[in-house]
Amino acid sequence: MKLHVESAGSGPEHVAFVHGLGNDATVWEELLGIADATGRYTLTAVDLRGHGRSARAPGYSLEEFADDLVDTLPRGLHAVVSHSLGGAVVARAVGRLGPRRAVYLDPGFKLALPDRGLGGFLVRRARWTIPLFAAAQSRGIRTPALTPERREVERTAQTRWDRRMALAVLQDVGTHPFAVVRQTAESTVILSGDARYVVPDPLPSQLEAAGWRVVREDSLGHAMFLENPELTWRLIESAL
C-alpha cells in the first residue's frame, strides 16, 4: 500500500519519520520545523496504514506495515527516524529500505507483557487481556507535560486512526518481539524515562552488545517529540 506522506525541506540529506500507534505525520510537525531550519535535510513523514490520511486496510500486521514503508519510501535514505510502533515496523523494513542510519525513539520492540505461563497463554489467545496486563505494567509512567497546543495536536491525530487495529497490533508486538541482531544501518535507540514498557530490561544491554548505540534521556516521557521537540531533535541529530 502506498502511504500518505508529508514533506518539508530540500537539503542534501533525506530523513524519513515513522510515527507510533494512534498518531500520524502531524505529530512530528514542530520537530520537523526545527530540523528544516538547519537547511541540511529533506524531510518526509508518513501516515501508516489506518492512520491519518492513509487508507484503512483489512489487515494491520507488523509485516504489512513494513511492506507499506518499502512500497512508499525510497531506498538508500540518509536516515529513518521512528517512534514506538513505528520502531517495530522500521526494524522489519530497514534491511529492504537500506538507510545509512536508523534512529528509534522508545521503539515497540518488546512490550512488558507476560510471555510464559498462564499470562503468556492469555496474551496469545485472549486479546481482551492485553489492556489489563498493559495497565498493570504501565503504573508509574507519568502523564507527559504537554502544552495545550501540543496536546491538541496529539488529540487530533488520535481522532484519525482506525481504532479497530489496537488489540491486534499490541498482540502482534507482544507475541513477536524484535529479535536483536546487528544491523546494516548504523542504529541508535533513544530511551525516555518511560521506555521500560516498550524496551524492558535486559533488552537495552542486548542491543548494545549487538552494536547498537543506546542513549537514555530520563527527563523525557514517551511522547518526547511533543513534550520537548528541541531536545528530542538534538538527540536525533547527534545520531545522524
Q: What is the pTM of this model?
A: 0.91
Residue with more model confidence, 18 or 122? 18
Q: What is the share, in percent, of the chain residues with pLDDT greater than 70?
A: 86
Q: pLDDT, tens digit, for every residue of 155-168?
A: 999 999 999 998 88
Q: Look up residue 163 and give its DSSP letter.
A: G
Average pLDDT over residues 208-213: 96
Write the CA distances from 94 to 84, 103, 137, 138, 187, integer angstroms. Answer: 15, 11, 29, 29, 10
Complete domains list, the chain, with CATH = 4-237 (3.40.50.1820)
CA 2 to the chain's CA centroid: 19
Task: Tell me the C-alpha distance between 228 and 146, whole Å.
Answer: 8
What average pLDDT does the chain have? 89
Residue 140 predicted with pLDDT over 60: no
What are the cell numbers at 212? 547498537
pLDDT of residue 122: 46
pLDDT of residue 200: 84
Binning pLDDT at 50, 70 and 90, where does residue 173 land? confident
